[in-house]
Amino acid sequence: MIRRIAINTGGGDAPGLNAVIRAVALSANKRGWECYGIRDGFNGILSPERYPEGAVVRLTLDRVRGIAHLGGTILGTTNKGSPLRFPMQMPDGSIRETDRTGEIVDFFAREKLDALISVGGDGSLAIAHALHRKGLRVVSVPKTIDNDLDKTYTTFGFDTAVSFATECLDRLHSTAESHQRVMVVEVMGRYAGWIALHAGIAGGAHSILIPEIPFDVEKVAERVRGRDRLGRMYSIVVVAEGAHPVGGHREVLEAAAAGHSERLGGIGERVAAALQERTGKETRVVVLGHLLRGGSPTAFDRLAALRFGAAAVRALDQGRSGVMVSLAFPNVEYVALEEVTGRMKGVPLDSDTLQTARDIGISFGD
């Protein structure tokens, strides 16, 4: 019997989080359940001293009115301090990563919260899986602009990121052409090339470099020269932040440390410098970075997020736990958490999208 549920948002924010929160709160209310939002991932529970006003906020109908179209998350989020690897200071001053998921289970028992809807990416899925194994009733909702979660056709946030990157590429064509330059555009995506591939094709890029296909920069330079020979004196190169040369390494801005993963970035600059040197053409770099995570969710992401939120509540109502809501296009389905945890979905090398890019003349630098 469910009376009170909680929802949290974890990891990097993605457009659509507020739409999930709204759908969950409304669907719970419809069943006569109370709905609460945990602040800043699990920080509300794990660092209560930072939240004198309480670890959770009651999600009344008023609180979730008019938020479905807003970017970000009204609950706050964090991609640091996973409860599975929470950095704790030891008496000798050293930092040790500690599993604090037991404290979350205790909090739910103490506050008489019957279930958790956990919205997040790979890290959040691992946390949800651990909480489920400790006996908490949990349903996960997949979120990430990177689209790198397995067993779901897509995650909300991805379409918004791709749409924005495509608009940026459209704008860069005219300035690149006017100046006869090479424009290198670095996009997020972590270890997967989804954003680069989809935006690159939609935005008419001439080369796309993704982590799944290590590149040879000379091949990219040759594509630029080839266009010049045809009188097309400019080129657009999209580079995923996780892309790397054959036999080379990923560019890391910040190494992984206690409680957080490494931060990628910088490959755009490297590729641009190499292209300028090899082609003699003026080359500029644009790093889209966190702009890809901002703004209002597209209609596709908004709808996916609302469907995911409502489906998560239905799952709890049907007595399910330990599952992730998944988009098995065109339907929403449920997948066991053990089937999705710790698995990354990269761009399949035999995908028709990738083949489409090759067919229309886009180079992957291979």
Q: Which residues are annotated as catalytic?
A: 146
Q: Closer CB to ligand F6P, residue 31 or residue 80?
A: 80
188 sits near ligand F6P (criterion: CB under 6 A): yes
Identify the residue among 63, 225, 263, 320 touching ligand F6P (CB under 6 A).
263
With tokens 């929802």, the residue in question is 7
CA distance 115 to 105: 10
Q: Closer CB to ligand F6P, residue 149 or residue 325?
A: 149
9 sits near ligand F6P (criterion: CB under 6 A): no
181 sits near ligand F6P (criterion: CB under 6 A): no
Torsion of CA 77, 21, 145, 236, to 10 degrees: -110
**Interhelix angle 158-179/194-202, nearest 10 degrees:** 50
293 sits near ligand F6P (criterion: CB under 6 A): yes
Identify the residue among 264, 288, 313, 340 touching ligand F6P (CB under 6 A).
264
**β partners of residue 183:** 236, 284
77-96 positions binding ligand F6P, by CB under 6 A: 79
144 sits near ligand F6P (criterion: CB under 6 A): yes
Stretch that binds ligand F6P, among 131-139, 187-195, 298-306, 333-341 (CB under 6 A): 187-195
In the complex, what is the shortest distance from the CB of residue 21 to ligand F6P, in angstroms, rounded to a whole number?
19
Identify the residue among 17, 113, 130, 145 touching ligand F6P (CB under 6 A).
145
Number of residues that bind ligand F6P (CB under 6 A): 13
190 sits near ligand F6P (criterion: CB under 6 A): yes
Binding mask 106-125 toward ligand F6P (x if CB under 6 A, else -) reads ---------------x----
DSSP reduced 3-state for 167:
helix
> DSSP code of 298?
P
> CA distances (Å), 63 to each of 26, 60, 189, 241, in order?
11, 5, 32, 37
**Residues 312 and 325 sit within 8 Å (Cβ to Cβ):** yes
Stretch that binds ligand F6P, among 92-100, 142-150, 277-285, 295-303 (CB under 6 A): 142-150
CA distance 346 to 343: 10
310-339 positions binding ligand F6P, by CB under 6 A: none
Q: Closer CB to ligand F6P, residue 20 or residue 275?
A: 20
Q: How many CA atoms lie within 13 A of 82 on its CB side?
A: 25
Residues 6+ apart with CB under 8 A from 264: 190, 241, 242, 250, 251, 252, 253
Q: Which residue is nearest to ligand F6P (CB)?
A: 188
189 sits near ligand F6P (criterion: CB under 6 A): yes
3-state helix, strand, coil in the chain (%, to 5): 35, 20, 40
**Binding-site ranges for ligand F6P (CB under 6 A):** 12, 79, 121, 144-146, 188-190, 241, 263-264, 293
